[in-house]
């Protein structure tokens, strides 16, 4: 039987099993700074060349296009389209700007899409490894290549968003601010911080006996919620759901009240786990977000469902997104460490 042993979260020997992954998380801020430094010259040159010229539309192509959409769609002054499917929209042409995140640079579908953009004469900005498959297919007169060296999706996105801000197509995205937010999470959630002072370890303990329902109200918080749920599933092998309020409310409302005589220990690997509502709060003051949060919390109170929250007060939307995602990922890793005991 697999059970959760919270003592493992402060056990140096037990934490060794996750050392590589925890080190990778701790270096998140450093990767953002490295990517920003490597791309600084290319960003400055591209911004100077483009000036205030605006394209007819911006097309974010490739599998990572949804992250750019979450940031840019509410702000971009020209029509914005996220196109994660292969190829490009049929109308894309020389008046349009195609942007792509390809941190690894080895995705054949991304290479095909960027080659099509070049063939159609589109303006192209692609962030990828120099010399990679995508970089080779992106070569063209109207192409700007932003070098990506770490393979980190978030760090690569920060570089792209910085350029788009400088040419008036996106909100401010300061790499140092994002990196500092990630560094703060890394310090607070470090494996060297004991349970009493480590919010990610505390959250892992709460998740250990629950079916997580992860919710974020804003567009970016909702994306972070989906990513956190993915990390929980990967680390624990258990179910974790992320969705809009209308998707999670039926699950909460269907939860039967807890019976005082129920055995608190599940003997079948988690089949009897109760839902836990995990709210990712990025400080959004949108009335719709507040209303949905209130409905979820009220339903949880009626059903006796526990509510936990991750919050971030970082300056920019991207910094808050990064902070929430990293905090949740740390918690998922600690959950995996605690469940490794038998």
C-alpha distances (whole Å) from 114 to each of 30, 119, 210 are 29, 9, 43
CA distance 84 to 23: 31
| Structure tokens, 77 | 């002054």
pLDDT of residue 64: 81
pLDDT of residue 224: 95
pLDDT at 265 over 70: no
pLDDT of residue 3: 80
In the chain, list all ranges with CATH 3.40.50.10490: 6-26+181-339, 54-166
C-alpha distances (whole Å) from 307 to each of 163, 201, 264, 279, 298 are 39, 16, 18, 7, 10
CA distance 134 to 138: 6
pLDDT at 342 over 90: no
Average pLDDT in the chain? 90
Q: How confident is the model at residue 221 (pLDDT cuts 50, 70, 90)?
A: very high
- Phi, psi (rounded to 5 degrees) for 85: -70, 160
Q: How confident is the model at residue 73 (pLDDT cuts 50, 70, 90)?
A: confident
Contact present, 335 and 232 (Cβ < 8 Å):
yes
- Residue 238: CB atoms within 10 A of its CB come to 18
H or E element, residue 34? helix 28-50
Average pLDDT of the segment spanning 59-78: 89
Contacts of 69 (CB under 8 A, 6+ apart): 60, 80, 82
CA distance 77 to 61: 18
CA nearest to 71, candidates 87, 61, 60: 60
Q: How confident is the model at residue 259 (pLDDT cuts 50, 70, 90)?
A: low
- % of the chain surpassing 90 pLDDT: 73
pLDDT of residue 84: 86
Contact present, 90 and 60 (Cβ < 8 Å):
no
- Phi, psi (rounded to 5 degrees) for 91: -85, -10
- DSSP readout, 98-157? EEEEESSS--HHHHHHHHHHHHTT-EEEEEE-TTSHHHHHT-STTEEEEE--S--HHHHH
Lowest mean pLDDT among 32-36, 87-91, 183-187: 87-91
Name residue 279's beta-bridge partners. 215, 309
Q: How confident is the model at residue 273 (pLDDT cuts 50, 70, 90)?
A: confident
Q: How confident is the model at residue 268 (pLDDT cuts 50, 70, 90)?
A: very low
Q: How confident is the model at residue 341 (pLDDT cuts 50, 70, 90)?
A: low
Q: Is 306 helix (H, G, I), strand (E, B) or coil?
A: strand
In CATH terms, the fold of domain 54-166 is Rossmann fold (3.40.50)
CA distance 70 to 121: 26
CA distance 145 to 328: 32
pLDDT at 325 over 70: yes
CA nearest to 170, candidates 47, 34, 73, 277: 73
Question: Between 313 and 25, where is the model more confident?
Answer: 25
pLDDT at 115 over 50: yes
Average pLDDT of the segment spanning 90-113: 92
CA distance 138 to 113: 9
Contact present, 132 and 106 (Cβ < 8 Å):
yes
Q: What is the residue whose two structure tokens read 């038998």?
A: 342
Beta strands in 271-326 (DSSP E): 274-281, 306-311
CATH number of the domain at 6-26+181-339, please?
Answer: 3.40.50.10490
Output b/e per residue, 269-296; b: 16+ Cβ within 10 A. ebeebbbbbbbbbbebeeeebeebbeeb
């Amino acid at each position: 039987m697999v059970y959760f042993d919270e003592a493992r979260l402060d056990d140096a020997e037990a934490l060794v099993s996750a050392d590589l992954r925890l080190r990778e998380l701790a270096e998140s801020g450093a990767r953002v700074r490295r990517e920003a430094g490597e791309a600084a010259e290319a960003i400055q040159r591209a911004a100077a060349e483009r000036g205030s010229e605006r394209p007819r539309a911006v097309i974010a192509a490739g599998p990572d296009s949804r992250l750019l959409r979450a940031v840019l769609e509410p702000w971009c002054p020209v029509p914005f389209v996220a196109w994660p499917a292969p190829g490009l929209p049929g109308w894309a042409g020389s008046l349009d700007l195609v942007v792509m995140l390809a941190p690894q640079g080895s995705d054949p579908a991304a290479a095909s899409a960027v080659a099509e953009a070049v063939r159609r004469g589109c303006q192209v900005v692609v962030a990828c490894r120099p010399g990679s498959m995508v970089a080779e297919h992106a070569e063209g007169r109207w192409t700007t290549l932003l070098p990506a060296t770490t393979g980190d999706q978030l760090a690569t996105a920060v570089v792209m968003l910085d350029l788009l801000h400088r040419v008036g197509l996106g909100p401010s995205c300061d790499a140092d601010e994002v990196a500092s937010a990630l560094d703060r999470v890394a310090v607070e959630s470090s494996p060297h911080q004991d349970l009493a002072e480590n919010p990610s370890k505390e959250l892992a303990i709460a998740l250990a006996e629950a079916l997580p329902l992860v919710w974020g109200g804003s567009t970016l918080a909702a994306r972070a919620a989906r990513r956190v749920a993915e990390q929980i599933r990967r680390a624990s092998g258990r179910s974790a759901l992320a969705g809009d309020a209308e998707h999670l409310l039926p699950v909460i409302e269907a939860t039967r009240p807890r019976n005082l005589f129920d055995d608190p220990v599940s003997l079948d690997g988690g089949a009897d786990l109760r839902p836990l509502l995990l709210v990712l709060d990025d400080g959004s003051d949108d009335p719709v977000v507040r209303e949905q949060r209130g409905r979820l919390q009220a339903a949880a109170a009626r059903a006796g469902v526990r509510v936990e929250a991750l919050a971030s007060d970082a300056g920019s939307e991207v910094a808050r997104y990064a902070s929430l995602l990293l905090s949740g990922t740390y918690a998922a890793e600690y959950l995996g460490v605690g469940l490794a005991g038998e």
